[in-house]
Amino acid sequence: MTRVQGLGASWDSSHTELLPRGHRVGDWVVAEPIGAGGWATVYAGRPADGRTARGAGRGEPTEVALKIMPTSGLAPRQARNVAEAARREVEIGVRAGHPRLIRLLDSIVLSAPDHPALDGAIVLVMERAERSLRDLLDAGVTEAEGGRVIAGICEGLAHLHRVGWVHADLKPENVLIGADGSVKLSDFGLATELTGTHGYAPPMGTLDYLPPERWKAPLGERGVEIRPSADIWALGIVIHEVFASGAPLFAGATPVARGAAVQEYAAGRAPLRMAHGVPEFWRALAADCLAPSHAVRAGHTAERLLERITAQQTGERQPVRRRRPARLGRLTRAVLLALAACGTVGSTLWSYAVRETVDEPPLRIRVFNAERACQDRTDRDPQCSLGLAVDPMRPYTAGNVVPTRVWHADLLDADCQLLRGEAVIDESDMQSTHWFRVRLPGPDPSAKAWLPAVRTKDRPALPRCPAPRAAG
C-alpha cells in the first residue's frame, strides 16, 4: 500500500477498513474512507445530529476528516510513537491555531471492547479539505496558482516557526487545498517543538524532502536535531515540484538513490540542476531554500521568503534593509560586526561560518552565471564569460578585472574568503560584499584573483583572508 498521510489524499482500496460506515465517533458519523498512512486511516465524517453536533449552527463544518490512529496490537514502543504523534497534533491544534494550518476540532479515545482492533484508538477530528497539493500537481497548475499556494505554505511555516515548532514533514501530500482555494498545512505527527535554536525528533520523515544534514545526523538519546531550516529545504523541493509538474529535483530511481544525489550536491561535487520550466523568480527562491548547509539556509526564513514572494506578486521592489547575522557558533566579535554591517538589495544576504586560520587546503567552488541564457551553453562564448577581480576593495569594473575569464559551471580552487569587500550586484539583483580568493586557471599556482560571492552558489566554510592592502 502506498503511504499517504495528507487528509486530501485518495483512498487506497487495498487498505482494510477499520470502521464501518455509519459508526458513531463522538458527535460524528463515519462516512467513506478518504486516505490512509502508516499509522492512521482517514474517513469523512458527518454530524450525527445536525442540531446537536458540536458547533452546528455556529459556522462549524458539516463535514470533517476523522483521523483514526489505532494502538491496539502494537508493540509498546510503537504504541508510544502513535500516542506521541497524536499528542503533537493536538498540542499544535490547541496552541498554534492559524488560518494556514488545518484546524483540529476535537480529539477522542475510542472505547470499543467488542472491537479489539479499535479499542483505545485515538481519533482526531479535523476540518476536511478538498484535495492535496499532490492532487493539484497531477491536474496541472498555472504559475499564478502555484505562486499563491507557495505563499500560503510560507505563511503557515512562518507562523509555526514563530511559535516554536518545525513541521518536519513538509511535502505536497501534507499541503491541503480547501474548496475555496485556501492553503493549509496538515499532518503534524512529526512536528518538533524547538528548545532554543533546535528541537529533537525520532529519525523519521519522507526521504525525498530531508535536508542534506539529516542523512548523516547523529542519533542521540533524544533523537536527531531538527531546525526550521529543514522545513526551508523541503519548501525548496516543493517549489521545484510545483513548477516542474511534480518532477523530482534530484535524480535517482529510489528515494535512497535521490538522497545520495542530495549529498553529492551538498558536498559540492554536483550542481543543482532544476527543470527548464521553472520560472526565473521561483528558480532563485528555490535555490536559496536549497542552500547546501544549514548555516547558509538559516538566513532564508519563511517570513523573509514570504516578503520576497509578496513583493514579486505586487510588483514592488524590496527595500534595502539592515539585518543582524544569524547565530553561527564561535565567531569572533570582529566577524560579527562585519556581518552586521552588510546590507541587502533585492534579496537576503548570505551568512557564513568563518574559520580563523588560513593554513587549510583550498576548496573547489563552482562558478554561477545568473544570466539564464548562458547557463546551458558549452561553447564558452565571450558574451557569457565572467570576470575575476584584481582587488576586491575597488569597484568591480573593467579596469579591475584580470585577463583570465571564467564561465558558468567552471570549478575554481578557493583558499579563503573576505566578508567586507566592494559590494557587487548580479543580474538577478543579488547583492553581497562577500568575496572568495581563487587560484587562476593555468600552470602558475601562485596566480590569484577574486570571485564575488554572487557568482557562485557554493558556500564553503573557508578561513578569512588577510585584509588586502590598499591599492596605490
* Residue 466 included in any domain: no
| Total domains present in the chain | 3
Whether 82 and 218 map to the same domain: the answer is no
Residue 417 has pLDDT above 80, yes or no: yes
- Looking up residue 42, the CATH number of its domain turns out to be 3.30.200.20
Report the pLDDT value the prediction gives residue 361, as an integer from 0 to 100: 63
Asked whether residue 117 carries a pLDDT value surpassing 50, the answer given is: yes
Same domain, 68 and 99: yes
**Is residue 302 domain-shared with residue 416, that is, in the same domain?**
no
C-alpha–C-alpha distance, residues 240 and 139, integer Å: 16
pLDDT value, residue 123: 85
> What pLDDT sits at residue 87?
78
pLDDT one-digit tens code per residue, 74-112: 767 777 777 777 777 877 777 777 889 988 888 888 777
- End residue of a domain, out of 111, 128, 145: 128
Indicate which CATH number applies to the domain containing 247: 1.10.510.10
Q: Is the pLDDT of residue 59 over 50?
A: yes
* pLDDT value of position 133: 94
One domain, residues 34 and 148: no
Q: What is the mean pLDDT of residues 207-236?
A: 87
Percent of the chain with pLDDT over 70: 80
> Cell 575597488 appears where?
394
455, pLDDT greater than 70: yes
Residue 111 shares a structural domain with residue 141: no
Question: Are 163 and 263 in the same domain?
Answer: yes
Residue 472 falls inside a structural domain: no
Structural domain boundaries enclosing 341? 333-455
3-class DSSP state of 402: strand
Residue 303 and residue 375 in one domain:
no
Q: Which amino acid is at 401?
A: V
Between 158 and 315, name the one with better pLDDT: 158
Q: What is the DSSP letter of 358?
A: -
pLDDT tens digits along 161-173? 998 889 999 999 9
pLDDT band at 9 (very low <50, low <70, confident <90, very high): very low
- On whether both 174 and 120 belong to a single domain, the answer is no
Higher-pLDDT residue of 26, 274 = 274
For the ranges 118-122, 241-245, 276-280, which has the lowest average pLDDT? 118-122
Burial class (CB in 10 A: 0-12, 13-18, 19+), 336: middle
251 and 341 both lie in a single domain: no
> Measured between alpha carbons, how far is 385 from 364 in angstroms, rounded to an integer?
19
Of 281, 316, 351, the one marking the end of a domain is 316
Of the candidates 409, 427, 428, 418, which has an alpha carbon nearest to the alpha carbon of residue 453?
A: 418
Output the pTM of the full model.
0.60
- Res 69: pLDDT: 83
Residue that terminates a domain, selected from 128, 152, 179 = 128
Distance CA 229, CA 300 (A): 8
Cα angle 384-389-390, degrees, rounded to a multiple of 5 = 145
